[in-house]
Structure 1
Amino acid sequence: MALTSSPEQPQPLRTILAATKSWVERLGSVWVAGQLLELKRRSGAATHFLTLRDALAEVSVTLTASTGVLDAAGPIAEGMEVVALVRPTVWSRNGSLTFECGDLRASGEGRLLAQIERRKRMLQAEGLFDRARKQALPFLPRAIGLITGEGSAAERDVLQVARGRWPAVRFVVKHALMQGPSCVEQVRDALTALDRDPDVEVIVIARGGGSLQELLPFSDESLARAVFASRTPVVSAIGHEPDTPILDLVADIRAATPTDAAKRIVPDVADERARVTQAGQRVRAAMLRLLDRETQFLATVRSRPVLADPLGPVAVQAGQVAELRARAERAIRGRLREEASWVEHALGRVRALSPRATLLRGYAIVSTDAGEPVDSTTIVTTGDTVVTMLADGLFRAEVTEVESRRESDD
């Protein structure tokens, strides 16, 4: 309904804004498609701003969305194709036109990317991307399993580069469709067959670049689980550097290209020869340094006095021993002379006090037959037997007469 107005009777601004707001909001909510050009998600805020652009025309609008709407939309990023349920409205404060987003969903490639992202999160939560579970590649595998398209550029790149680096390398090639509905099943069957081959020590899954839809089989959940369950290390060489299917994340090694995969699975014979040569040179240099150091050490040891004249210290010690021996002999002889002199003196004193010395001078010792000494005439009587001891023996005699002397008779 048109509002009447004139310069004399203008309408209040609030009335015009209210009418405009009412007219705009009659459109209600509508689903629109576009490309997410900008996403400003403010930490801690309840409302966030998005810029949506038309895919064909230079037309863009700003949307407001709540935290709940963005969380429900799943993994979305700038540049994705999305569909949004928007409701146009007018802000009463400043009269600006804005669009409130009530629902947001990825579409087209964006929808595929969102599905792949959800699948990645699920597999990551199960530990399929855990680095601790990755297997190391052998230095020089006996045989290399290769899963790729028949006659593809990826097959040619892997074989030529690998054989150029190590001519004796052996491949077991399994051809499979690398896109389309049968891709997952054929790649999975080839992986199972190569994993059972005891000679195959590493498996390469190689394919050139392609669109998101063409590389979609390599983000299949069943294929990812088959690669994770493989006992043989798996190298993923799918697409080019920007391409990152789920296979790259679950494989033990991710190669940027098939050529890069060939460089990772076998060493370069020229580089290895150079390393062996360098190692030999380093060992030789180390041995020469060691020999030079030991030669200098031996020269230093030989220049010491103890080695210049090995018998010198022995001669010094022998002289000291001889001197000590002579001193000991002199001390012993002196001590023996002192002891001999003392013994002679003691022997003289003993001999002087010995009764035998008195007997030698002509004296005798007289005792009764019972052994009692006779030192007085009163002890014996006539007819008693006495024993007389001389210096050279003894004899027995019978007393025939006893004569006593008086002291005055002396």
Structure 2
Amino acid sequence: MDEKQPSARLARETTRENPWPLSRLLDNLDRYIDRIDATWVEAQVIEYNQRPGNRMSFFKAKDLEADMSMQVKAFGGVIAAAGSAMQAGARVVMRVKPDFYTKTGDLALMAAEIHPAGVGGLLEQLERLKQQLAAEGLFSREHKKPLPFLPRRVGLICGHQARAEADVIENATRRWPLVEFEIREVAVQGDRCAPEVAAAIGELDAIAEVDVIVVTRGGGAFEDLLGFSDEQVVRAAFAAVTPVVSAVGHEEDTPLLDWVADFRASTPTDAAKRIVPDLEAELELMERGRQKMRSFVSSRIESGLEWLAALRTRPVMQNPAASLEERRRDIDHGTEALRLRVGAILARYRQELVSSRATLTAISPRATLERGYTVLRLPNKTLVTDAAAVKKGDLLEAVLARGSLVASVVGTNQGRKEAN
């Protein structure tokens, strides 16, 4: 058996037959990297992941110009001391030292200090603009307009052949196949972004058939989305009569357009779900409504039939004249009672009349005449009650019980006059 060769002392002395163990290379790298002095660097914070308490937090530091970035880690105390500087998109100056983790071979920067990169940084400028616009009421909820249930046409502002455009169109068409779009392709980052987006909002707002405007682009670095925080874009969205939907970046991205928009969608796909209804869901809802209506109508008909059947079994429906007969008997009974009452009253009055007549007859002058007495009257109808009231030759009318006579006075006798 061959004796084991001694391990190579230097890297250049290693061979295929006499390699180093991986751990020795990693240990050498660790010692070499550890000799690098701490360095002050300027960069932009992206992909910030803060952890609670004094635990280690991680984020990426991106070069301000070159497309380069590196993982950075810092303890909670360093993060807390940085204050407002520690936000996604912030420009910072850090004192860092390379940190090599031999177990996994990961290389990162350990930050000992983190400070804002100048007072006039982009984050501070945006915060001041945000406070100014908020004070003017541009972000007030009372200005938010509701989205239409089914827009006649959707205005879409997006980048040239951008994935966000395809996401909105594909998802909206899948939900509502007949949806129509009025598309304006603009620059979605850089110096041309803000004026082109603001102009597109105004142009689509002037089209009567456009019922909602969607401003969209995919995710990107903080500076890539700055155009959607520009004041002219925010004011154009606020001035639009048509509802505006902001679908810029991802959930964690919040340009100022999100604050002024009538609706903020988390992604372009989410915007597509908000601007048009789901045809299948609406058809299902209509079918459930039909079934509920049928069930309600059937229930009402069944209940009405049961009520009608119960009504038919009532005695009055079996013999409708029965109730009339009862009323007829009541009328007959009342009529008979009234007839008896009237008859009794008439009989009583008749008896009283007979009695009164008898009384009148008994005391009337005619009764006296019936007994043979006569009433004498002068031609002027004056009754003769005294013989001295007449003289010889006067004519007198003698009223008898039946009829009357005319007599002439021929003389008197013992104070009495005689008539012929």
TM-score by length of 2: 0.69
Q: Which residue number in structure 2 is paired with residue 339 of structure 1?
A: 349
Q: Which residue number in structure 2 is paired with residue 366 of structure 1?
A: 376
1:269 matched to 2:243? The reply is: no
- The C-alpha deviation readout for 1:179-229, integer Å capped at 9, x for no partner, is 111111111121221111111111111111111111111111111111111
- Post-superposition shift, 1:153? 0.9
Aligned pairs for 1:170-181 within 5 A: 170-181=180-191
- Post-superposition shift, 1:81? 5.3
Q: Compared with structure 1, are the counterparts of its residues 192 and 338 closer, same or farther at alpha carbon in structure 2 (3 Å cutoff)?
A: closer
Residue number among 226, 244, 269 corresponding to 2:236 in the alignment: 226
What is the rounded CA distance, in whole Å, between the counterparts of 2:202 and 2:164 in structure 1? Answer: 21
- Aligned pair count reads 342
Q: Which residue number in structure 1 is paired with residue 257 of structure 2?
A: 247
1:399 matched to 2:409? The reply is: yes
What is the rounded CA distance, in whole Å, between the counterparts of 1:372 and 1:193 in structure 2? Answer: 129
TM-score by length of 1: 0.71
What is the rounded CA distance, in whole Å, between the counterparts of 2:358 and 2:49 in structure 1? Answer: 138
Q: Compared with structure 1, are the counterparts of its residues 386 and 227 closer, same or farther at alpha carbon in structure 2 (3 Å cutoff)?
A: closer
- Post-superposition shift, 1:111? 3.0
1:136 matched to 2:146? The reply is: yes
Q: Which residue number in structure 1 is paired with residue 324 of structure 2?
A: 314
- The C-alpha deviation readout for 1:33-57, integer Å capped at 9, x for no partner, is 7899999xxxxxxxxxxx9x9x899
Q: Compared with structure 1, are the counterparts of its residues 244 and 109 closer, same or farther at alpha carbon in structure 2 (3 Å cutoff)?
A: farther
Structure 1 residue runs without a partner (length 5+): 1-31, 40-50, 85-100
Give 3-state SS (helix, strand or coil) of 1:197's partner: coil
- The C-alpha deviation readout for 1:208-255, integer Å capped at 9, x for no partner, is 111111111111111111111111111111111111111111111111
What is the rounded CA distance, in whole Å, between the counterparts of 1:227 and 1:154 in structure 2? Answer: 19
Give 3-state SS (helix, strand or coil) of 1:314's partner: helix
Give 3-state SS (helix, strand or coil) of 1:278's partner: helix
Please say if residues 195 and 232 of structure 2, whose CA atoms lie closer than 8 Å, have aligned partners that are also in contact: no
Q: Which residue number in structure 2 is paired with residue 18 of structure 1?
A: none
- The C-alpha deviation readout for 1:267-324, integer Å capped at 9, x for no partner, is 1212211111111111111212222233333344444444444332332222122122
Letter in 2 for 1:178: V
Structure 2 residue runs without a partner (length 5+): 1-39, 51-56, 62-69, 95-112
Q: Compared with structure 1, are the counterparts of its residues 299 and 287 closer, same or farther at alpha carbon in structure 2 (3 Å cutoff)?
A: same
Q: Compared with structure 1, are the counterparts of its residues 390 and 116 closer, same or farther at alpha carbon in structure 2 (3 Å cutoff)?
A: same
Q: Which moved more, 1:135-144 or 1:379-388?
A: 379-388
- Post-superposition shift, 1:386? 3.6
Letter in 2 for 1:134: K
What is the rounded CA distance, in whole Å, between the counterparts of 1:147 and 1:396 in structure 2? Answer: 141
Please say if residues 38 and 78 of structure 1, whose CA atoms lie closer than 8 Å, have aligned partners that are also in contact: no
1:146 matched to 2:156? The reply is: yes
1:207 matched to 2:217? The reply is: yes
What is the rounded CA distance, in whole Å, between the counterparts of 2:374 and 2:308 in structure 1? Answer: 91
Letter in 2 for 1:120: K
Residue number among 333, 337, 341 corresponding to 1:327 in the alignment: 337
Please say if residues 224 and 246 of structure 1, whose CA atoms lie closer than 8 Å, have aligned partners that are also in contact: yes
Structure 1 vs Structure 2 CA RMSD: 3.9
Letter in 1 for 2:264: R
Please say if residues 180 and 217 of structure 1, whose CA atoms lie closer than 8 Å, have aligned partners that are also in contact: yes
What is the rounded CA distance, in whole Å, between the counterparts of 1:198 and 1:372 in structure 2? Answer: 120
Sequence identity (%): 38
